[in-house]
Amino acid sequence: MKRASKLIGLAMLVPIVVLWAWWQERRILNRGWGLSELERGWAKAAGVAEPSNIRVMTVDTVPLPMPVSWAEFFHERFGLGIGSPIGMSLRYGIYLADEYMPNPRVLVHEFVHTAQYERLGLFKFMWLYFCQCAFEGYNGAPLECEANEVAARVLERLPRV
């Protein structure tokens, strides 16, 4: 996939995703629940400045920013894949897929993304995140690597759950 083609796809995709993320964050902030004392401690350890702003909502399936047919279009035309995540941080709103609910691994990983949103802002986070995934792959994306590394450090210090 050519670099220019991917950039065109990203320039179309990211603004849609940012609007969607903003809307979904509002939804989670209205309907989700706040963190327990323990979870706030994990969020702090993950680098979140304002853990009390976070709300979590469990769903059967984490929603995607667009209909599946659009996602397929971006995947085929521009090589921008959107998977089916088990958790998703939309700044202070966090979705968790139901079956993973009790798993602090997923939650702490999403907290690191929340800290990244605090640092970068919503638009810049999304732009960098999608660019990194498009050009370096999901596993090579620096924002994803940071989330995995920080989460691993935080989880190491937790008592076994």
DSSP run (H or E) holding 20: helix 3-31
Applying CB under 5 A, does 147 fall inside the site for Zn ion?
yes
Applying CB under 5 A, does 80 fall inside the site for Zn ion?
no
Residue among 53 and 132 whose Cβ is closer to Zn ion: 132
With CA atoms as reference, report the closest residue to 60 among 86, 88, 93, 32: 86
Q: Which stretch binds Zn ion (CB under 5 A): 4-12, 37-45, 130-138, 147-155?
A: 147-155
Q: What are the DSSP E strand ranges found in 69-126?
A: 87-90, 93-97
Site for Zn ion in 11-30 (CB under 5 A): none
Q: Angle formed by the axes of helices 68-78 and 3-31, to 10°?
A: 150
Evaluated on CA atoms 139, 141, 143, 146, the torsion sign reads positive
Residue among 25 and 144 whose Cβ is closer to Zn ion: 144
Site for Zn ion in 115-144 (CB under 5 A): 144
Cα of first residue to Cα of last residue in the chain, in angstroms, is 43
Size of interface with Zn ion, in residues (CB under 5 A): 2
Q: Cβ 139 to Zn ion, closest distance in Å?
A: 10
Applying CB under 5 A, does 46 fall inside the site for Zn ion?
no
Where on the chain is the footprint of Zn ion (CB under 5 A)? 144, 147
